[in-house]
């Protein structure tokens, strides 16, 4: 059922705002309303207005001010979309918290400490990440262990391995990395008044992922996997291969984020990034993906990530006592999700009203 929403071409998101004005709901606006990302967009718009107002005095809206929260969102966003794919397909991957530092350290040790050419370091980093993703996928598909537990195990295994290999090879847990000019420009540059390279990677990847999820057969397969695994397999979808590929995609995208981070900040550290696990899952859920799988959209996750970035960084542009930061972050996220749910409920009831538009499965 939900899949029906995905087949419409994406139209200008700005229109969704005007749609709230037209109470009679012409079929064009109804379509916009039903789109899963509309709720996520509304949540984002809400927190943006709140922090735009309270943070105005401290330049929250200026170019350099906005670059801080967009930059923060970009690292999470690169990882959150493939995580969203996995969640739509009914799985979870929390090993990203270890894969990110592991990737940064791999690059730091090979191209920083041992001074190998950067392209060798990058290739090796991506390969190692792909291998971790493959291991995750193999264990999940070959055993009955839930992916949460499998990736929990790899989270610890990879972080332990990162620490011990770092100590073994470099005798420290933090390595410096000086990338050559082209790599710096590609992965760790700053453009348009402060936006990091990772922001452009994020936007580019979002475009690719929109195509994959909403316009290719793989997208159909992913939704089918999260909807009903048995029927998906009976329909001839290579479910195991698809899942392994998704786990590998998550790990490789995480490695890309790690590479951007290491080159941008000229250093890599080994401590496990537990916050990243929460942040990616929060971004995906705020973006309207159901925890039970089968429903979601790439633009929704994109807006969800921006919401998270605005809320987490926006707090610093206000005069609120810092002891209350976490409380405000929690409340704002809850409001954003509630807003999203309200819109989804609205969307679902609307689509049942207009069955002829939404009943093609």
Looking at the Cβ atoms of 87 and 166, the one nearer to other proteins is 166
- In the block, which residue shows the tokens 């009955």? 144
C-alpha–C-alpha distance, residues 205 and 82, integer Å: 10
Determine the 3-state secondary structure of 195 from DSSP: strand
Per-residue CA distances from 273 to 9, 278, 281 (Å): 37, 10, 14
Q: Which residues of 267-286 are buried (b: 16+ CB within 10 A; e: fewer)?
A: bbbbebbeebbebbbbbbbb
Tell me the closest approach of the beta carbon of residue 33 to other proteins, in angstroms. 35
Tell me the closest approach of the beta carbon of residue 235 to other proteins, in angstroms. 41
> Nearest 10 degrees: CA dihedral of 136, 142, 143, 145?
30
Tell me the closest approach of the beta carbon of residue 207 to other proteins, in angstroms. 24
Looking at the Cβ atoms of 42 and 163, the one nearer to other proteins is 163
Tell me the closest approach of the beta carbon of residue 255 to other proteins, in angstroms. 15
Q: Is the Cβ–Cβ distance between 261 and 122 less than 8 Å? A: no
Determine the 3-state secondary structure of 291 from DSSP: coil
Looking at the Cβ atoms of 73 and 246, the one nearer to other proteins is 73
- In the block, which residue shows the tokens 């200008």? 12
Tell me the closest approach of the beta carbon of residue 274 to other proteins, in angstroms. 6
Looking at the Cβ atoms of 53 and 274, the one nearer to other proteins is 274
C-alpha–C-alpha distance, residues 208 and 224, integer Å: 20
Tell me the closest approach of the beta carbon of residue 357 to other proteins, in angstroms. 44
Tell me the closest approach of the beta carbon of residue 58 to other proteins, in angstroms. 4
Looking at the Cβ atoms of 50 and 210, the one nearer to other proteins is 50
Tell me the closest approach of the beta carbon of residue 132 to other proteins, in angstroms. 18
DSSP state for residue 174 in the 8-state scheme: E
Reduced 3-state DSSP string for 223-286: HHHHHCHHHHHHCCCCHHHHHHHHHHHHHHHHHHHHHHHHHHCCEEECCCCHHHHHHHHHHHHH
Interface residues toward other proteins, by CB under 8 A: 58-59, 62, 64-65, 67-68, 71-72, 75, 97, 101, 156, 159-160, 163, 166, 172-174, 176-177, 194, 261, 264-267, 269-276, 312-313, 316-317, 319, 322-323, 325-326
Q: Is the Cβ–Cβ distance between 97 and 221 less than 8 Å? A: no
Looking at the Cβ atoms of 176 and 291, the one nearer to other proteins is 176
Determine the 3-state secondary structure of 153 from DSSP: helix
């Amino acid at each position: 059922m939900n899949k029906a929403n995905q087949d419409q071409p994406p139209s200008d998101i700005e229109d969704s705002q005007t749609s709230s004005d037209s109470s009679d709901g012409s079929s064009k606006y109804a379509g916009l309303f039903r789109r899963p990302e509309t709720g996520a967009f509304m949540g984002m718009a809400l927190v943006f207005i709140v922090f735009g107002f309270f943070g105005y005095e401290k330049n929250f809206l200026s170019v350099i001010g906005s670059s801080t929260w967009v930059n923060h969102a970009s690292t999470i966003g690169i990882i959150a979309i493939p995580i969203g794919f996995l969640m739509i397909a009914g799985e979870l991957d929390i090993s990203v918290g270890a894969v990110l530092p592991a990737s940064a350290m791999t690059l730091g040790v090979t191209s920083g400490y041992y001074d190998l050419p950067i392209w060798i370091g990058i290739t090796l980093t991506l390969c190692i990440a792909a291998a971790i993703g493959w291991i995750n996928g193999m264990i999940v598909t070959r055993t009955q262990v839930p992916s949460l537990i499998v990736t929990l195990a790899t989270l610890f295994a990879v972080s332990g391995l990162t620490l011990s290999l770092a100590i073994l090879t470099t005798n420290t847990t933090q390595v410096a990395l000086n990338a050559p000019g082209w790599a710096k420009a590609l992965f760790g540059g700053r453009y348009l008044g402060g936006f990091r390279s990772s922001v452009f990677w994020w936007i580019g990847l979002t475009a690719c992922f929109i195509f994959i999820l909403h316009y290719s057969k793989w997208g159909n397969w992913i939704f089918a996997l999260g909807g009903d695994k048995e029927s998906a397999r009976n329909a001839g979808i290579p479910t195991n291969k698809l899942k392994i590929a998704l786990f590998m995609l998550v790990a490789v995208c995480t490695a890309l984020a790690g590479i951007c981070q290491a080159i941008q900040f000229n250093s890599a550290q080994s401590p496990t990034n537990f916050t990243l696990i929460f942040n990616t899952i929060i971004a995906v859920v705020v973006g309207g993906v159901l925890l039970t799988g089968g429903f979601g959209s790439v633009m929704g996750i994109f807006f969800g990530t921006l919401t998270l970035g605005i809320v987490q960084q926006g707090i610093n542009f206000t005069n609120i006592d810092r002891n209350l930061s976490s409380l405000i972050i929690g409340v704002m996220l809850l409001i954003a999700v509630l807003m999203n749910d309200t819109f989804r409920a609205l969307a679902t009831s609307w689509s049942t009203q207009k069955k002829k538009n939404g009943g093609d499965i």
